[in-house]
């Protein structure tokens, strides 16, 4: 894929890999969510089992595609609730119940998606021993802040300053927090995640122009119809007081 992996754009520094804007992160998150929802909703359900930033590839228009189906597994059939399998995956992204029991369900992928969404919000890797004590595990450090609207800005990537509203940031954080629920039954399905992320997409709208016989008139500013104010981490103290992507062309993974 022409723009490489999501991992490179989030964590690598350099002129080639520019940090993704807020709107592009939302687009990529939605595209990846649609990919997982497609696998989970197939006639023969497939559990991806290794969802992480390095397995999300971006094309020239930042459309997300899932790659590396090497650990994909057919989901439970009939009245079975899970698949029992040897524990495999990537440290930090694996659902806690799968680690504890080896029981694999589509909600295991939902947890992994929540981890990736949190990495996209924060610009931080899920595990980094070089961070200060208390922040080695991104999930453990960030979850208490995700639940509180006035504190969610503490988690946000400072490279996104001024690109989002507090309402939008909190809405995305809420999706991530639900996906990261310890109990699988409290996590949403990926189709539900898609619906929530679709509501948060920010289309690029052309700026309206007004004309008269004397030429273009300056735009008047009023409170009505204006967009919510964009916030940044500098507002923390104040905060305290595209087209749908089709996955029909996806190659069918060879589940193991």
User: In the CATH hierarchy, which fold is given to the domain comprising 6-203+228-240?
Assistant: Transferase(Phosphotransferase); domain 1 (1.10.510)
What's the confidence (pLDDT) of residue 119? 97
What's the confidence (pLDDT) of residue 253? 52
CA 19, 22, 23, 24 dihedral sign is: positive
DSSP state of 137: B
For the stretch 124-179, pLDDT in tens is: 999 999 998 988 999 999 999 999 998 999 999 999 999 999 999 999 999 999 99
Tokens of 221: 């500013």
What's the confidence (pLDDT) of residue 85? 85
What's the confidence (pLDDT) of residue 189? 97
Q: Which residues contact 232 (CB under 8 A, 6 or more apart)?
A: 153, 158, 160, 161, 162
What's the confidence (pLDDT) of residue 246? 39
| Regions in the chain scoring below 70 on pLDDT | 1, 14-17, 78, 203-256
Task: Write down the residue that tokens 């991530």 correspond to.
Answer: 176
Which residues are catalytic, by number? 50
3-state DSSP call for residue 12? coil
Number of residues that make up the chain: 256
């Amino acid at each position: 894929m022409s723009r490489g992996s999501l991992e490179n754009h989030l964590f690598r520094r350099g002129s080639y890999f520019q940090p993704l804007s807020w709107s592009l992160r939302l687009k990529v998150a939605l595209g990846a969510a649609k990919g997982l929802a497609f696998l989970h909703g197939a006639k023969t359900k497939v559990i991806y089992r290794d969802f992480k930033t390095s397995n999300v590839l971006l094309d020239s228009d930042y459309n997300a595609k899932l790659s590396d189906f090497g650990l994909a597994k057919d989901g439970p059939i009939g009245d079975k609730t899970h698949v029992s399998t040897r524990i495999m995956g990537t440290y930090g992204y694996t659902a806690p119940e799968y680690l504890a029991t080896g029981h694999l369900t589509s909600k295991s992928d939902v947890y992994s998606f929540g981890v990736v969404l949190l990495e996209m919000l924060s610009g931080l890797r899920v595990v980094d021993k070089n961070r200060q004590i208390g922040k080695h595990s991104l999930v453990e450090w960030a979850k208490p802040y995700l639940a509180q609207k006035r504190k969610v800005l503490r988690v946000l990537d400072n490279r996104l300053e001024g690109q989002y509203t507090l309402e939008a940031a909190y809405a995305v954080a809420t999706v991530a927090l639900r996906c990261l629920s310890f109990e699988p039954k409290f996590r949403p399905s990926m189709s539900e995640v898609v619906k929530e992320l679709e509501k948060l997409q920010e289309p690029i709208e052309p700026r309206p122009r007004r004309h008269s016989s004397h030429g273009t008139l300056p735009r008047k500013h009023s409170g009505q119809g204006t967009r919510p104010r964009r916030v940044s981490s500098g507002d923390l103290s104040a905060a305290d007081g595209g087209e749908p992507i089709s996955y029909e062309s996806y190659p069918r993974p060879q589940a193991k």
